[in-house]
Amino acid sequence: MGIFNLFNKEKKQTLDKGLEKSKTGIFDKLSRAVIGKSTVDEDVLDELEEILISSDVGIDTTLKIIKRIEKRVADDKYTSVNELDKILREEAAALLEENNSQDVQNSFETDNLPKPYVLMVVGVNGVGKTTTIGKLAYNFQKNGKKVVLGAADTFRAAAVDQLKLWGERVGVSVIDHGMNTDPSSVAYDAVKAGIEQEADVIIIDTAGRLHTKVNLMKELGKIKRVMQKVLPEAPHEIMLVLDGSTGQNAIIQAREFTKVTEINSLAITKLDGTAKGGVVIGISDEFKIPVKYIGVGEKMEDLQVFNKTEFVDSLFRKS
């Protein structure tokens, strides 16, 4: 077990702080909904349903959670409103557990993965994709892994320069051909360099332009084919980065990207600046794709391995 699998007190405090806006929004509304109530009745559940939807959990996912709670309440007609947050945590966590039941390497440990492990990162501009890659590189390296980055988002000069800056900051090798060059050739050289340098992890940045879905699909397909000339099984993982602060827009982006390429994992960023943290539950439930990492702050360590139980606890536990 890698050291990052341990969800220590400091990480929990960071998660609590990162989800504070979301949690406050939920419990301010919930407190008003249960005034004068002693037991969980139909009115309370109706209010809870509205609260979860307004917190960007999503309609379908909210209805699943409410149905589970209704069953619990029906079995015990005297369920106290004081138990509601506990029941909410348990049922939301159970739903996430069912959705992410497959075995996922949810850490910065790579001992059980192929070497080198090629991770291709996709996502629209502005979601924090390049920053997420930089933080991934930092955390992998901190865990004793050698990392090579490939700057294959060649349509924006800022993306290439930003990744190079992250490489310098973290102290990892960045393969780039500059702007307006063939992304697949960058990916090819990055994989080749990673093999030569005996890297543990190779992370490939890509352009995200959803307004040309056909071109995006062709481009991502070409990148994969060209990488496979060097390493037949590459990429081992395709991670979609989503901005959690955009709420339902993040879900729309996920729908679009899953149409054009096979997504194996998700990273959800910027949860510390929003009251829409419930979107993580909705995304996990709709797409059945494991949420692997969440961003809950600016620091390198604030890109956390997603822990379902601790996330739900931080989001739905009363202070």
Q: Is the pLDDT of residue 105 over 60?
A: no
Question: What pLDDT was estimated at residue 4?
Answer: 40
Distances 77 to 39, 41, 43, 72, 199 between C-alpha atoms, Å: 8, 8, 14, 9, 58
Question: What is the Cα 290 distance to its own chain's centre?
Answer: 8
Give the whole-angstrom CA distance, residue 282 versus residue 60: 8
CB 283 within 8 A of CB 312: no
Average confidence (pLDDT) over 112-119? 95
Least confident of 6-10, 93-97, 141-145, 153-157: 6-10
pLDDT value at residue 210 = 61
Q: Is the peptide bond before 235 cis (omega within 30 degrees of 0)?
A: yes
Please compute the mean of the pLDDT values over residues 107-117 and round it to a whole number. Answer: 90
pLDDT (average), residues 65-90: 89
| pTM confidence score | 0.92
Both tokens of residue 131? 């920053």
